[in-house]
């Protein structure tokens, strides 16, 4: 056969030269795109009916949160400071209100999560992500991050009518561990008196976040008027501290009640302010 015409060689050459590039491009298409850690992350969404209109309320991180109180972090997930946030995550957090998928109200929640109960300038919010199961404590030092990650996310938005205005449009979020066995939470939502997203205050101080223990918020939702906050002997207390609770058109009222403690550890009589003052005075 004669020599192949040069024009045929020229047509074939670019095809084989481009083949490695096509294979490389195919590889790029098949691999996953790198994760965008700066994009907002939805933690939870719930449907809420407001005066007959369905809305979506969303807890959303500003960007991908980082682990807190997990086996991989150094806080000690089984210790008291992690109690409300075990197997959690942290970062800047917002509550967003949407109608037909369109955002029309947003409340920044980050500042309410603090190390100090009197401070409202927290730098990051912390939310529990996965539940604890009894076996976790049995193998405390060998709990697997992968095992925890397979568990479903804990639901955070449970709506109740804490202020008894006839609308269950608020939910509770733990924000701080006070001492071992005691944590404080805020109530977030809307009310008849304030139809915009807000953190609930008390009737006496409506602009200051009201922080109660989860059991106290639960008692308020159930219509109970008194709940034991600290029983006799709790953390060395010489009195029992109860909370008197009342929800009215004025708002939520909370009053501390102190009872004497009997030798057997049971509650005694209600102390007057004068009796409590004398009891709290240091010995001469």
Q: What is the pLDDT of residue 28?
A: 42
Q: What is the pLDDT of residue 20?
A: 40
Q: What is the pLDDT of residue 178?
A: 85
Tally of CB atoms within 10 A around 163: 25
**Mean pLDDT for each consecutive 10-residue tract of the chain (284 residues)?**
39 36 40 72 96 96 93 79 91 97 96 74 89 78 81 95 96 92 96 97 94 97 96 91 94 95 92 84 55
Q: What is the pLDDT of residue 119?
A: 63
Nearest to 47 by CA among 108, 107, 99: 99
Q: What is the pLDDT of residue 11?
A: 35
Q: Is the sign of the CA dihedral 114, 120, 121, 127 positive or negative? A: positive
Helices (H) and strands (E) in the chain, counts: 5, 14
């Amino acid at each position: 056969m004669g020599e192949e015409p040069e024009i045929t060689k020229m047509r074939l050459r670019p095809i084989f030269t481009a083949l490695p590039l096509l294979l490389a491009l195919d590889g790029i298409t098949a691999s996953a795109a790198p994760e965008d850690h700066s994009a907002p992350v939805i933690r939870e969404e719930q449907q809420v009916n407001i005066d007959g209109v369905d809305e979506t309320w969303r807890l959303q991180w500003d960007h991908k949160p980082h682990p807190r109180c997990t086996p991989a972090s150094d806080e000690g997930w089984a210790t008291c400071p992690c109690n409300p946030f075990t197997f959690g995550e942290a970062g800047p957090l917002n509550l967003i209100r949407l109608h037909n998928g369109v955002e029309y109200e947003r409340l920044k929640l980050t500042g309410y999560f603090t190390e100090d109960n009197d401070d409202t300038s927290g730098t990051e919010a912390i939310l529990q992500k996965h539940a604890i199961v009894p076996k976790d404590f049995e193998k405390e030092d060998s709990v697997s991050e992968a095992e925890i990650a397979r568990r479903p996310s804990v639901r955070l938005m449970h709506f109740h009518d804490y202020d008894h205005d006839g609308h269950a449009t608020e939910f509770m979020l733990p924000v701080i561990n006070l001492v071992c066995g005691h944590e404080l939470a805020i109530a977030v939502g809307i009310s008849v008196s304030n139809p915009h997203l807000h953190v609930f205050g008390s009737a006496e101080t409506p602009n200051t976040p009201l922080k109660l223990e989860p059991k106290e918020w639960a008692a308020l939702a159930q219509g109970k008027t008194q709940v034991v906050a600290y029983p006799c002997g709790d953390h060395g207390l010489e009195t029992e501290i109860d909370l008197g609770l009342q929800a009215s058109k004025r708002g939520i009222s909370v009053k501390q009640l102190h009872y004497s403690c009997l030798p057997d550890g049971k509650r005694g009589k209600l102390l007057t302010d004068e009796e409590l003052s004398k009891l709290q005075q240091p010995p001469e």
